[in-house]
A and B are shown apart, each in its own frame.
Chain A
Amino acid sequence: KNQVEQSPQSLIILEGKNCTLQCNYTVSPFSNLRWYKQDTGRGPVSLTIMTFSENTKSNGRYTATLDADTKQSSLHITASQLSDSASYICVVRSDSHNNDMRFGAGTRLTVKP
């Protein structure tokens, strides 16, 4: 079973609308969680990083939340733009000495005009 589960698998929204992506994880011990944006055929680009003591963090139109008790995170995108169309991947780092980073399956977001 994957240690990082994301939902929905795909999402289509109209330009200008808001959306929220979900990430649940079982990675333990937990160190931090990152949201990445990945365009097709390109490497992932980091949007936010959160440690266990951080509940919310914003980066422009992106706002991430983290509930370390329930092991859930969300990524909220406001006023979506066509360029937001991409895969959004949740990556959880375990607090171990082997530098393990685990990926969720991603949410494929399509923003339509």
Chain B
Amino acid sequence: DTEVTQTPKHLVMGMTNKKSLKCEQHMGHRAMYWYKQKAKKPPELMFVYSYEKLSINESVPSRFSPECPNSSLLNLHLHALQPEDSALYLCASSQERKGVGGLNTEAFFGQGTRLTVV
């Protein structure tokens, strides 16, 4: 199983709603990521969890709250979002394996959640 599963695929929410995005992988990867991607732009790193601990927070507004309840799950809790937060939210996971020349990072991405804030 080399899949990263994200749910839901699409989400429409109001600015006063509270919702959560979910990400799941069963590859034993110990690093998990949230990226935000606007149309025609590359993914922007939001958060990185390493061994279930938050290792990078790219100064993301507090209306985005990540959670890593266990090594297979990554959530992104959303509250009081703005219309400009509408984007594709991508989850990724990675695991390093030592190769001949260095570390080979197996990194896989989910298909994303298309979020629309109205």
Instruction: Identify the A interface with B (CB < 8 A).
Output: 31-32, 34, 36, 41-46, 49, 51-54, 87, 89, 91, 93, 95, 97-106, 108
Bound: A87/B111 CA distance, A: 15
Provide a sorted-by-A list of 10 A–B residue pairs whose CB atoms are within 8 angstroms.
A32-B102, A42-B111, A45-B109, A46-B107, A52-B101, A52-B102, A93-B103, A95-B102, A100-B48, A103-B35
Chain B residues with CB under 8 A of A44: 43, 90, 109
Of the listed stretches B62-70, B71-79, B92-100, name the one at the interface; the rest are far from the partner chain: B92-100
Report the minimal beta-carbon distance from A58 to chain B, rounded to whole angstroms.
16
Instruction: Identify the B interface with A (CB < 8 A).
Output: 4, 6, 31, 33, 35, 40-45, 48, 50, 55-56, 88, 90, 92, 94, 99-112, 114
Which of A41, A95, A106 is within 8 Å of B88, CB to CB?
Answer: A41
Which of B31, B40, B90, B101 is within 8 Å of A43, CB to CB?
Answer: B90
Chain A residues with CB under 8 A of B114: 41
Q: A98-B48, A101-B33 are in contact. Are A53 and B101 (CB under 8 A)?
A: yes
Inter-chain contact A32/B103, CB cutoff 8 Å: yes
Q: A51-B101, A52-B102 are in contact. Are A89 and B45 (CB under 8 A)?
A: no
Chain B residues with CB under 8 A of A36: 109
Chain A residues with CB under 8 A of B107: 34, 46, 91, 93, 101
Q: Which of B35, B40, B107 has the most CB of A within 10 A?
A: B107
Which of A34, A54, A101 is within 8 Å of B101, CB to CB?
Answer: A54
Inter-chain contact B104/A49, CB cutoff 8 Å: yes
Chain A residues with CB under 8 A of B92: 43, 101
Chain B residues with CB under 8 A of A100: 45, 48, 56
Q: Which residue of A lies closest to B49 (CB)?
A: A99
Inter-chain contact B102/A99, CB cutoff 8 Å: no
Which of B42, B43, B55, B104 is within 8 Å of A99, CB to CB?
Answer: B55
Bound: A91/B42 CA distance, A: 10
Inter-chain contact A49/B48, CB cutoff 8 Å: no
Inter-chain contact B42/A103, CB cutoff 8 Å: yes
Which of A34, A49, A103 is within 8 Å of B43, CB to CB?
Answer: A103
Bound: A53/B103 CA distance, A: 10
